[in-house]
Amino acid sequence: MVHKKKVHEKRKEYVCGHCGKKFVRKPNLLLHQKTVHEGRKDFACDKCEKKFSQKGNLLSHHRTIMHATSAGRNSEVNQICRGTK
């Protein structure tokens, strides 16, 4: 008797068509494709020319020494946070 074992649990997987990387959640795949394969950088710093692919990178960029003194206590930072929610 041949008993087929379930190798994989039935689980949603989103595979990147470019590199074959797998993601459990679709938004993660889309973000991966956008940033890694399309080179999209949607989060631009308004204090300098820098652009970032992820919001977290931009936010941490704002906290760097470059902007900490000028933008750190500026109310504009709060506006940016609301604007790019």
Judged by CB under 5 A, the stretch of 3-11, 12-20, 52-60, 76-84 that binds Zn ion is 12-20
Separation of alpha carbons 77 and 71, rounded Å: 7
Q: Which is nearer to Zn ion, 7 or 44 (CB)?
A: 44
Query: Which string of x and - marks every residue 39-68 that binds Zn ion (by CB under 5 A)?
Result: ------x-xx-x------------------
Using DSSP's 3-state secondary structure scheme, residue 76 falls into helix
Separation of alpha carbons 61 and 73, rounded Å: 15
Using DSSP's 3-state secondary structure scheme, residue 27 falls into helix
Binding site for Zn ion (CB under 5 A): 16, 18-19, 21, 45, 47-48, 50
